Amino acid sequence: MIRSMTGFGIATGSIGARRVSVDVRSVNHRFLTSTIRLAGELARFEFEVRELLKKRVTRGHVTLAARFEDAVADRPAIDERRVAAWVAVLRELKGRHDLAGDVDVATVLRLPDVFAREEAPGEEDGAALLLLCDQALEAFTSSRAVEGATLAAYLQDRLGRIEAALGRVEARAPERVQAHREKVRLAVEELLGGSTMDPQRLATEVALLAERIDVGEEVARFTAHIAAFRQTLAGAPDGVGKRLGFLLQEMLREANTTGSKANDVAITNDVVLIKEELERMREQVENIE
């Protein structure tokens, strides 16, 4: 299945007592590059997340981010019981020793063990994070496939237009060769004037000149490239964008050769049309994984 290199996927769930949101998005790139952003203590699982991503994606610049949904969850955890105990102790000392000043927040927060110690995420948290990432990647892959199907339909339509133009070139080519042969023969006879020339030799020279404008081989190779392109679109394994790009280069090579050899207005017009369609296809193929 053809997949686009642009896509988006999201998944939400719980990791421990927190709600976490994971989103994955990507843009075009020649190779696979990834940016992983994991909130807080989840960062310790970056390696596992990156390895999971590599198994699901072959090309594109991919950004995966895991965030805590509730911003409050990112605040430092304070042990309120310990704070209350410290306040009681400070007030008792103030009264007992007749100390001046108030017991304020700044003073309390500087005391030991006011901030609660959060437990480091364990293996269960890592497994929960990877499950969320896998769900987000599944949605991400589906969005790529939907856009890929649209791209494949577009490319098939462009191929149809190219085949129609190539068919006209193929039909015109023999007429063009025959016309050129006759033109060369008449030119040779005119140059010779009343002189005679071996008919066999004349036929050979005319045939050699005509061969230089014969585009039959180019059309045959072009047709083979189209078949290979269609086959790749129909049963594409992962990461076919590069192969499709290579086939387009080969088609353009044959189109250029055909245009330079034909020396015919009708064929030249169709070659220009073919090259325009190939350029449109190239722009879209650059977005295929």
CATH hierarchy code of domain 147-285: 1.20.140
CATH hierarchy code of domain 7-73+121-145: 3.30.230
C-alpha distance from residue 179 to each of 136, 155, 201 (Å): 64, 36, 19
Integer Cα distance of 5 and 59 in angstroms: 7
- Which pLDDT score, from 0 to 100, does residue 142 have? 94
C-alpha distance from residue 207 to each of 89, 153, 190, 214 (Å): 112, 43, 18, 10
Report domain extents, the chain. 7-73+121-145, 78-109, 147-285
pTM: 0.70
- Is-same-fold flag (7-73+121-145; 147-285)? no
- Which pLDDT score, from 0 to 100, does residue 193 have? 66
Which residues of the chain carry a pLDDT beneath 70?
Answer: 70-77, 79, 113-122, 177, 180-185, 187-199, 201-211, 213, 235-239
